[in-house]
């Protein structure tokens, strides 16, 4: 800032000498707010304008440290960079309905198929972001030429820098803190990039993304010592030894249809409200299937995408953030890839925008032949986050009928998504005394989704598809968040609940339906989402490699290990955040025994192995080593 004492009009002098800064701030604010409107027409500006102003202040604060000519060049170059970033973001948003990240750009090769359609979306209006860059060229030259270079003391420059920088940072800290309270994992998982950008603005979004990207790469860059790699390799080969042949190859050659149901929590199964079943269709199909009634979700910061990741890879979720975001460049030995190697056509189907959870990149990285996302469906009915389960499942059925057999179809539903507030569209389930509560709205939404699942399964049967297919259905994670768990305890008539009580409710139903309703029954093994891939590998007689889970049908013991280090062996539950053990039968706290201590240490090491496998992309190197040894 050039503060100079002039008798005549100080303001004019100040404006004249700081026109570059003022113009830059005005232009940047206009562009960034225009962009905010483009990615969310319905969004109020009050919130995002603060972090937008903060990010511009921070950029400008660096400019005031420079000599005038350099300052003008610096601001002009920043303007050009941000304009191109906004155009790139707009294009990416137009196609993927999402925001570009460094990881997505790094995977741009995986998006090869759509780059032409993305660029075809460019229109003149988008180039408006560059209009000032072009118009200002002559003015910048004239401004620099007529510029009276005034000596500004370093102290004044530094104080201007410190004031602007601190104001900018404090506004940003306030916005980021508020967001971290509202959605604790969003800043690391970046699951909902649009929402994140709406809340902190485009520049801050890319700053957060850059930080996460660098942080992940620093973790990945540290090479593991060879003996540690061997330790992990030996653990995996031991863990993937076949320990039985129950139903080995029973599904060989059959289609595989896996349906991941949004927020299907186990407490609704075989339950009624005022005599009406909450999930009559699932209850019916459970009686026709092999039902796992001690099956836990094991998601962490990646939420839904963690459920997908574990199901298709049997690798634990990332220690922070989402594997779908942080490790989309890794090599995976995933279920779709192995089935494809065995002649299967593989497809993922989900009615939301392709970029959500970085699915457009991660489904390719996991080897799916095709991903049928929002653009592949006729969005003829929307409930909650997007395409209704009814329309999604009806349209998906038509797609399945066209798939070359044998195929693996991985479907992810959407309607029954928290906070379940599209109540009038869920149909007429009477939630009785739970009406107008989160739990009551959830019951309505899951009753709706159950109805659509029932219709879908009945249609599969009518079309003769069930005759030659294995159908797996499971829930992705909790429906009632911990902060509202008392609504669930009230529904279940539970008093003085403990951490054990809470954990026992973190089950999701998992059913495997065989043709002719074969192998039906209830399996009580304590298991989780990490175990589905090894279990299917046994049914389809696929090689088991690099999996951290177990084949539930042929395992020598119950085990569920959670990302936060908590675990159960079917008799005891260990709660990591209180370092407490509970006896499941009595519900009482018990002392740590040597055996339990060893389990805790072994499991903690197992989580480290999984983290190192992801950070070092070890499956790729193990696979290459194996090729070498097989030669
Ligand atoms: C988004 C849907 C929900 O496409 O899968 O994800 P969630 O918010 O449950 O992780
Ligand atoms: Mn979900």
CATH number of the domain encompassing residue 534: 3.40.720.10
- The structure tokens listed for 157 are 């420059």
Domain assignment of residue 143, given as a range: 2-220
Overall average pLDDT of the 433-444 stretch: 96
- Residue 134, pLDDT > 70, answer yes
Q: Which ligand is nearest to the CA of 385?
A: 1
- Which atom from ligand 1 is nearest to the alpha carbon of 305? 10
Are 259 and 413 spatial neighbours (Cβ–Cβ below 8 Å)? yes
Give percent of the chain with pLDDT exceeding 70: 93
DSSP secondary structure letter of residue 508: -
Judge if the beta carbon of residue 303 lies within 6 A of ligand 1: yes
pLDDT (0 to 100) of residue 248: 97
Of 617, 185, 192, the closest CA to residue 365 belongs to 617
Judge if the beta carbon of residue 261 lies within 6 A of ligand 1: no
* pTM attached to this predicted model: 0.79
Judge if the beta carbon of residue 415 lies within 6 A of ligand 1: no
pLDDT (0 to 100) of residue 372: 98
pLDDT (0 to 100) of residue 212: 87
| CB-based contacts of 367-371 (< 8 A; 24+ apart in sequence) | 367/332, 367/334, 367/336, 367/337, 367/340, 368/336, 368/410, 369/336, 369/340, 369/345, 370/346, 371/347
Three-state DSSP string of 408-433: EEEEECCCCCCCCCCHHHCCCCCCHH
Choosing from 60, 101, 188, 304, the catalytic residue is 304
Of 341, 334, 315, the closest CA to residue 616 belongs to 315
- Residue 631, pLDDT > 60, answer no
For residues 184 and 242, state if they share a domain.
no
Q: Which of 185, 220, 255 is the last residue of a domain?
A: 220
Higher model confidence: residue 565 or residue 162? Answer: 162
Whether 304 is a known active-site residue: answer yes
Judge if the beta carbon of residue 304 lies within 6 A of ligand 1: yes
Which conformational region is residue 573 in: left (phi greater than 0), alpha (psi within -120 to 50 degrees), or beta?
A: beta
pLDDT (0 to 100) of residue 112: 45
Q: Which of 178, 202, 220 is the last residue of a domain?
A: 220
Tell me the pairing of strands 567-568 and 572-575: antiparallel
Omega before 51 within 30 of 0, i.e. cis: no
For residues 198 and 238, state if they share a domain.
no
Are 567 and 353 spatial neighbours (Cβ–Cβ below 8 Å)? no
Overall average pLDDT of the 67-96 stretch: 87
Residue whose CB lies within 8 A of the most ligand 1 atoms, among 303, 360, 372, 445, for a mutation test: 303
pLDDT (0 to 100) of residue 110: 46
Are 156 and 162 spatial neighbours (Cβ–Cβ below 8 Å)? no
Residue 548 lies in a domain: yes
Overall average pLDDT of the 498-508 stretch: 95
- Residue 402, pLDDT > 70, answer yes
Q: Which of 195, 220, 245 is the last residue of a domain?
A: 220
For residues 91 and 240, state if they share a domain.
no
Q: Which ligand is nearest to the CA of 262?
A: 2
Count each helix (H run) and each strand (E run) in the chain, helices first.
25, 19
Lowest mean pLDDT among 60-74, 142-156, 413-427, 490-504: 142-156
Q: How confident is the model at residue 147 (pLDDT cuts 50, 70, 90)?
A: low
Judge if the beta carbon of residue 356 lies within 6 A of ligand 1: yes
For residues 216 and 246, state if they share a domain.
no
Rounded to whole angstroms, the Cα distance separating 529 from 297 reads 6
- Residue 105, pLDDT > 80, answer no
Are 550 and 572 spatial neighbours (Cβ–Cβ below 8 Å)? no
Q: Which spans in 222-298 are helix H?
A: 226-239, 280-286
Domains contained in the chain, number: 2
Rounded to whole angstroms, the Cα distance separating 406 from 178 reads 49
Helix (H) or strand (E) holding 182: helix 154-182
């Amino acid at each position: 800032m050039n503060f100079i004492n002039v008798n005549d009009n100080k303001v004019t002098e100040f404006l004249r000498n700081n026109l570059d800064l003022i113009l830059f701030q005005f232009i940047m604010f206009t562009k960034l707010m225009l962009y905010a409107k483009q990615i969310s027409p319905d969004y109020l500006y009050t919130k995002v304008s603060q972090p937008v102003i903060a990010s511009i202040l921070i950029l400008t604060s660096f400019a005031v440290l420079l000599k005038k000519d350099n300052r003008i060049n610096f601001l002009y170059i920043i303007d050009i960079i941000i304009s191109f970033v906004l155009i790139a973001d707009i294009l990416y948003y137009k196609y993927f309905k999402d925001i570009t990240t460094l990881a997505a750009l790094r995977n741009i090769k995986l998006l090869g198929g759509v780059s032409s359609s993305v660029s075809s979306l460019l229109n003149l209006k988008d180039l408006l972001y560059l209009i000032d860059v072009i118009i200002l060229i002559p003015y910048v030259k004239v401004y620099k030429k007529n510029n009276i270079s005034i000596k500004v003391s370093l102290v004044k420059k530094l104080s201007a820098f410190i004031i602007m920088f601190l104001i900018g940072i404090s506004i940003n800290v306030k916005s980021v803190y508020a967001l971290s309270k509202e959605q604790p994992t969003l800043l690391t998982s970046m699951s909902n990039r649009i929402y994140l950008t709406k809340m902190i603005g485009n520049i801050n979004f890319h700053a957060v993304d850059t930080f996460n990207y660098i942080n992940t790469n620093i973790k990945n860059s540290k090479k593991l010592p060879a003996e540690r790699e061997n330790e992990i390799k030996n653990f995996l080969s031991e863990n993937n030894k076949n320990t039985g042949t129950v139903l080995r190859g029973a599904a060989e050659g059959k289609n595989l249809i896996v349906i991941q149901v949004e927020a299907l929590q186990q407490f609704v199964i075989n339950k009624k409200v005022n005599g009406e079943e909450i999930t009559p269709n699932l209850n019916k199909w459970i009686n026709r299937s092999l039902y796992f009634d001690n099956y836990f979700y094991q998601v962490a910061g990646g939420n839904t995408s963690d459920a997908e990741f574990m199901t298709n890879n049997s690798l634990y979720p990332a220690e922070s953030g989402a594997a779908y975001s942080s490790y989309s460049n890794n090599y995976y030995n995933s279920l779709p890839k192995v089935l494809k190697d065995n002649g299967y056509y593989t497809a993922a189907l989900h009615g939301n925008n392709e970029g959500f959870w970085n699915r457009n990149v991660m489904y390719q990285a996991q080897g799916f032949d095709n991903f049928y996302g929002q653009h592949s469906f006729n969005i003829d009915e929307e409930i909650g986050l997007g395409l209704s389960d009814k329309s999604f499942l009806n349209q998906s059925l038509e797609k399945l009928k066209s798939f070359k057999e044998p195929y693996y179809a991985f479907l992810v539903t959407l309607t029954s998504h928290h906070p379940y507030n599209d109540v009038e569209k869920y149909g007429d389930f009477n939630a009785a005394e739970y009406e107008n509560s989160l739990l009551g709205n959830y019951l309505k939404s899951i009753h709706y989704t159950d109805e659509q699942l029932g219709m879908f399964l009945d249609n599969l049967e009518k079309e003769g598809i069930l005759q030659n297919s294995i159908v797996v259905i499971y829930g992705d994670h909790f429906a009632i968040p911990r902060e509202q768990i008392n609504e669930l305890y009230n529904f279940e008539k539970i008093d003085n609940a403990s951490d054990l009580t809470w954990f026992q409710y973190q089950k999701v139903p998992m059913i495997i339906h065989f043709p002719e309703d074969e192998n039906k029954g209830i399996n009580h093994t304590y298991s989780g989402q990490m175990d589905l891939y090894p279990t299917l590998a046994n049914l389809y007689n696929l090689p088991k490699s690099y999996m951290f889970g177990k084949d539930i049908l042929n395992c020598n013991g119950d085990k569920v290990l959670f990302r936060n280090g908590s675990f159960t062996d079917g008799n005891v539950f260990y709660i990591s955040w209180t370092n407490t053990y509970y006896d499941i039968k009595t519900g009482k706290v018990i002392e740590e025994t040597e055996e339990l201590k060893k389990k805790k240490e072994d499991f903690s090491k197992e989580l480290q192995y999984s983290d190192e496998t992801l950070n070092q992309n070890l499956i790729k190197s193990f696979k290459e080593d194996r090729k070498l040894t097989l030669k």
